[in-house]
Every structure is written in structure tokens, then in C-alpha cells.
Amino acid sequence: MNSNKIESNMRLFDNKVIHYAVQLLALSILLYFCYEIIRPFINLLIWGSVLAITLYPLHKRLTNLLKGRKWISATIITLIMFLLIIGPATMLTLATVDEFKVIKELYNERLLSIPPPDENIRNWPVIGTPLFNLWTEASVNITDFYTKHAETIKPVGLKLLDLLSSVGMGILLLMASFLVAGIMMIYGKEGAELATMFFARLVGKQGEAMENSVAITVRNVAKGVIGVAFIQGMLAGVGLIIAGVPLAGLWALLGMVLCIIQIGMMPVSVGVVIYIWTSADTTTAILLTIWMLFIGIIDNILKPIMMGIGAPAPMLVVFMGTIGGFIYNGFIGLFTGAIILTIGYQLAIGWLKTKPHQNTIKQE
């Protein structure tokens, strides 16, 4: 009796289904713990990879000029990116924080004042009269106005502070991402080979084409969405600072975020133009209006050029992937959404173009 039980147990352990199930369970546990360990660094690694892919062609050219010195090339590019991107963004953020401090001090000392609105605002459709009344009330006594509308103003102020803090954290993440990207660029060739092997495992012979598609898509999205939005934000910040608009850094950063999420600079431009026409001289108002219109126009010129160069999928597919990815997964989704939709598009088109295998039946 016991020998029969032992034999049945042995047959149970020899069963391949159970053997594979145990292996899959062990592999799943291993992958789970690997994910938990690496999870705090996922955003950093993704952004570092995006920056490395985007900057790798520049790194390759510079490496050739430096006779193969990869470390020096990566260091130079990282330092340049710090100066060109991190520097201005930090200056705008610090300038905005300083302006908030000045406004708070003036309010505490009861010296804060708002210029009265222009009479023409009354004639604006729908919002003219309510806006004029609120603006007049705030210009008469800002302290009483704040006390009366505190429940409405406080949430807005907290949102602005959250935006500033998130921007500060974003700058720190960007700094760390550039350092990671610098290291990744040094091992760019090995990384490309690893990516090709990975895609080859997934889709076979099309693996190399998929790796190229991912690289091109990331570069196009980085230049067409992030790059153009950054240019617009910096140009807006310069114009607002020169025109003397309060909290210029905050409005520039808000405009940059709106451009990234594809809303555009229009909401910020409208508010700024209204303010400047009611508080500054005519020359300043005209120049800033033209400047903000120019910033809005360059989006329609630069974005199609940047996103369409060598694109492995139609611009509409990349654009839908970018917007859908952002809605689904935030800023990281700008890239992951475009990549996933581009790969899906290529697989679908490849499948449709493949001629079905036709078996010829020999008739006797």
C-alpha cells in the first residue's frame, strides 16, 4: 500500500505541468521582488533613457571628433544640457518664489495694491461686467477682498504652491536624469544591441526595425513635444520679465506645462495680454502682444517639422499616442504612448501587407 502511494507521488512530481508551474511561480516571485526593488528608480531610468536616446546622435558625432573618447563626450553634453535647460528653468522658478515673498511682505504690511481696471473691460461679452466688478473691488481694498473671497482664493493659492513644488522636484529629477543619460550614452552601442535582442525575441526578424522605430519615435516626441514646449516657455518667460509682468516665471512654467499637454500657450497669453493692456503703456502692450502671438505661431511650425522627420508612423498616429499616453500615464506616457502605438501600427501594417501562404493542391 505504501509503495503504491510513493509511486503515485513520484509520478506527480514527474508531471511536466507541475514542474513548469513551479518554475513559473519561482520566476514570478523573482520578477516581483526585482520590480519592487527597482520601482523607486523607474521614473529616473525612463527619463534617463529618453534623454540618452534623444542625445545619442549628438554624442556619437562628438565622440568621433574627440577620437573615440566617450566619457569626455558624454560629460561635455551633460554639462551643456545643465547650462541650457536646468539653468534657465531654475532661474525662472527662483524668480517666481522671490516674487511670491515680495507679494506676501507687501500684503502683511498692507502696502499691496492692484491698479484699477480699464473701463473697456465692461464691454467684453459674458465675463466683462463680473470681471470688472471683482477687479474694482480688489483694487479698492485688497485685504477686504481677500477676506471676503478667502474660500475661493485659498485653493487657487495652494494649487500654485503645489505647482511650484512639483516644478522644483521636476528640476531635481531632470538633473539626475541627465546624469543617468550621460552614463547610458557611454554604453549606447551595447544598449542598442540589447534592445535589438529583446525585440528580436518578441517579434523575430523585425526586432532591429522595432528598435530603430522606438529610437526615432522617442527623439521625435522629445523634440516635437518637450523641446518645442521648452522653447515656448523660455521665450514667454523672457518676454514677460522684460515687460514687467508679475510672477513671470510662474506664468512661463504654466504655459510650458500647457504646451506639453497640447492645450497650448493661449490661456496664458490671453491673461497676460489683458493684464498688460490695462496696466502698461501702449508700446509695451503692443510689443508683448506681438511676442505672445509669435510664440503661439511657432508651435504650429516647429512641431510638425520635429515630429515628422524620419517618423516610422504617420504623424497622426504618433500624435494620438502622445496625447493618449499623457492622459493615461502622465508625462511618462508622452513617450510610452507614442512608442506603443507606433509599434502597434507597424505590426498591423506589416501583418496586412504580408501575403497569406497559399498551398497549391496538386490534382491528380
Taking only the tens place, the pLDDT of each residue in 248-290 is 777 887 787 777 766 778 888 888 888 888 777 888 888 888 9
Taking only the tens place, the pLDDT of each residue in 189-232 is 777 777 777 767 766 666 666 667 777 777 777 777 777 888 88
One-letter amino acid for residue 29 of the chain: I
Supply the pLDDT for residue 4. Answer: 59
Based on the domain organization, do 312 and 289 belong to the same domain? yes
Based on the domain organization, do 179 and 274 belong to the same domain? no
Residue 244 within any structural domain of the chain? yes
Based on the domain organization, do 181 and 199 belong to the same domain? no
Based on the domain organization, do 61 and 174 belong to the same domain? yes
Based on the domain organization, do 271 and 246 belong to the same domain? yes
Domain end point (choices 132, 151, 186): 186
Supply the pLDDT for residue 29. Answer: 93
Only one residue has cell 520566476, namely: 27
Domain that holds residue 74: 43-186
Dist CA 135 CA 290 (whole Å):
25
Supply the pLDDT for residue 301. Answer: 77
Based on the domain organization, do 135 and 206 belong to the same domain? no
Residue 249 within any structural domain of the chain? yes
Supply the pLDDT for residue 30. Answer: 92
Residue 62 within any structural domain of the chain? yes
Based on the domain organization, do 201 and 58 belong to the same domain? no
Contact predicate 55/185, CB 8 Å = yes
Supply the pLDDT for residue 275. Answer: 80
* CA distances in angstroms from 97 to 89, 101, 172, 191, 336, listed in the order given: 12, 6, 16, 41, 33
Residue 358 within any structural domain of the chain? no
Supply the pLDDT for residue 33. Answer: 92
The domain tally of the chain equals 2
Based on the domain organization, do 170 and 201 belong to the same domain? no
∠192-196-202 over CA atoms, to 5°?
145
Based on the domain organization, do 128 and 202 belong to the same domain? no
Supply the pLDDT for residue 360. Answer: 43
Please give the DSSP secondary-structure letter assigned to residue 355. Answer: P
Based on the domain organization, do 342 and 326 belong to the same domain? yes
Supply the pLDDT for residue 58. Answer: 84
Dist CA 364 CA 358 (whole Å):
19
Residue 341 within any structural domain of the chain? yes
Dist CA 269 CA 273 (whole Å):
6
- pLDDT by residue, tens only, the chain of 364 residues: 555 555 555 555 556 777 788 888 999 999 999 989 988 888 788 878 878 888 888 888 888 888 888 888 888 988 888 777 766 666 666 666 666 676 667 666 666 667 677 667 777 676 777 777 777 777 777 767 767 766 776 676 666 666 666 666 666 777 788 888 888 888 877 777 777 777 677 666 666 666 677 777 777 777 777 778 888 888 888 888 888 887 777 788 778 777 776 677 888 888 888 888 877 788 888 888 899 888 888 877 777 777 666 666 777 777 788 778 777 766 667 677 777 787 777 777 777 766 655 444 444 4
The model's pTM: 0.62
Domain end point (choices 186, 210, 228): 186
Contact predicate 272/241, CB 8 Å = no
